[in-house]
């Protein structure tokens, strides 16, 4: 499961490093992004424009939007089959911009869990594989939501959790957004990111509260 992540770099730097298009909305640095909050996504592989969508997917057919609280992640192995995700998997795939994600781990049974921040070794931004939805309400108004796909963990993450978010490298990133991509080709992209290109370190338990969103909470701490 991926329940928190970071977007700490300057938007201009993210735009350059990921070769993105215009930012349709203002994207502020974030140190503790939580479900139900707006997150930056890219839907079009040609314009590569960056928009803000609410994290927690609400299918267009859902009457109760609180379903989004349970759909912050989708299993990559079955998303193309599940009613909540299969339409989005076929027609509404996106990239979700990040530069780190958190997992919690206890050193021993019964001990308090410590949050760990996972990043690329060079601290560059990256993109999660995501799905998005657009819902219109009969009484007026719209809701734009998204979810992060997860997969089996790589050799680094598996010591801390049994799932990890799907992180797409440069080539896979834009292949994921191609509207005419075959399902088999898309599934081939949803694999663990190479562990030797990643790092992790423990951070403050202040991360446990989504209300804490400041640079110092992601500094490495001694255990």
Task: State pTM to two decimals.
Answer: 0.96
CA torsion angle 30 34 35 37 (round to 10): -40
The label of the residue with tokens 């990559």 reads 76
Degrees to nearest 5, angle at CA 188 with 78 and 127: 85
* pLDDT < 50 positions in the chain: none
* pLDDT tens digits for range 145-162: 999 999 999 999 999 999
User: So where are the chain's domains?
Assistant: 5-204
Distances in Å between the alpha carbon of 36 and those of 56, 68, 139?
6, 8, 22
**DSSP label at residue 2:** -
Please give the positions annotated as active site: 2, 103
Beta bridge partners, 94, equal 130
Is-contact 2 160, C-beta < 8 A?
Answer: no
**Cβ distance 212 to 34 under 8 Å?**
no
Helix (H) or strand (E) holding 74: strand 73-75
Amino acid 18: pLDDT: 97
Cα–Cα dist 153/89, whole Å? 21
Q: What is the pLDDT of residue 63?
A: 86
In the prediction, which pLDDT does 223 show?
Answer: 63
β-pairing verdict for 73-75 and 142-151? parallel
CA atoms within 13 A on the CB side of 222: 0
Residue of 129, 114, 135, 122 lying closest to 74 (CA atoms)? 129
Q: What is the pLDDT of residues 165-191, one digit of tens each?
A: 999 999 899 999 999 999 999 999 999
Compute the distance between CA of residue 18 and CA of residue 170 in angstroms, rounded to an integer. 8
Q: Nearest-5° angle of CA 146, CA 215, CA 48?
A: 35
Query: How many Å apart are CA 114 and CA 204, to the nearest integer?
Result: 8
pLDDT reported for residue 103: 97
State the CATH class of domain 5-204.
alpha beta
């Amino acid at each position: 499961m991926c329940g928190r992540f970071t977007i700490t770099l300057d938007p201009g730097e993210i735009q350059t490093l990921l070769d993105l298009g215009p930012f349709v909305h203002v994207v502020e640095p974030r140190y503790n992004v939580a479900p139900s909050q707006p997150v930056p996504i890219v839907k079009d592989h040609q314009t590569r424009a960056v928009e803000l969508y609410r994290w927690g997917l609400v299918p267009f057919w859902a009457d109760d939007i609180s379903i989004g609280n349970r759909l912050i992640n989708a299993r990559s192995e079955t998303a193309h089959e599940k009613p909540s995700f299969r339409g989005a998997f076929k027609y509404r795939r996106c990239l979700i911009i990040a530069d780190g994600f958190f997992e919690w781990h206890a050193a021993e049974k019964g001990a308090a869990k410590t949050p760990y921040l996972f990043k690329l070794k060079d601290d560059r931004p990256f993109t999660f594989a995501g799905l998005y939805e657009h819902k219109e309400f009969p009484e007026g108004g719209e809701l734009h939501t998204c979810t992060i796909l997860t997969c089996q963990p790589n050799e680094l993450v598996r010591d801390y959790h049994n799932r990890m978010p799907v992180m797409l490298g440069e080539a896979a990133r834009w292949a994921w957004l191609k509207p005419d991509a075959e399902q088999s080709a898309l599934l081939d992209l949803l694999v663990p990111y190479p562990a030797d290109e990643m790092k992790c370190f423990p951070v403050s338990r202040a991360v446990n509260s989504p209300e804490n969103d400041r640079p110092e909470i992601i500094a490495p701490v001694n255990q």
